[in-house]
Amino acid sequence: QVQLVESGGDVVQPGGSLRLSCVGSGAALDSYAIGWFRQVPGKEREGVACIESTDGGTYYGDSVKGRFTISRDNSKSTAYLQMNSLRPEDTAFYYCAAVSKTFEHIIITADEWFLPSGYDFWGQGTQVTVSS
């Protein structure tokens, strides 16, 4: 089983950028698709982006398309979320999550990568605050 640890959250002004990292341990990260999610108090967890385990296919939520980029470096067992042109509404707790290659095709072909229920392993999260 993989363990995930996020980092990189911070306070940033509107229009600024941040890069979040998600480091995996305990298992080879290239055996998992990685998703990034975010949540604010009182709201459901929102799927932000997803990257396939080895093919590198990427998927984005409508609210972040063109601003956020998900990537991964399997040699470093790390996935990233580059966030540009940040807005106050991007303020949230950000989580990375993993689903094994065995089940990855299910959520991808069903176009359900954005559902938290499709992922088995979660990090503890990191806070991103966009404020002037």
Q: For the segment 26-54, what is each residue's pLDDT rounded down to a tens digit?
A: 988 899 999 999 999 999 999 999 999 98
Dist. CA 98–CA 32, nearest whole Å = 6
CA-wise closest residue to 67 among 19, 2, 117 = 19
CA distances (Å), 13 to each of 6, 18, 19, 111, in order?
Answer: 21, 10, 14, 33
* Burial of 111 (C-beta count, 10 Å sphere; 0-12/13-18/19+): exposed
pLDDT in tens, 68-126: 999 999 999 999 999 999 999 999 999 999 999 888 988 888 889 999 999 999 999 99
CA distances (Å), 130 to each of 9, 30, 84, 110, in order?
Answer: 10, 31, 11, 33
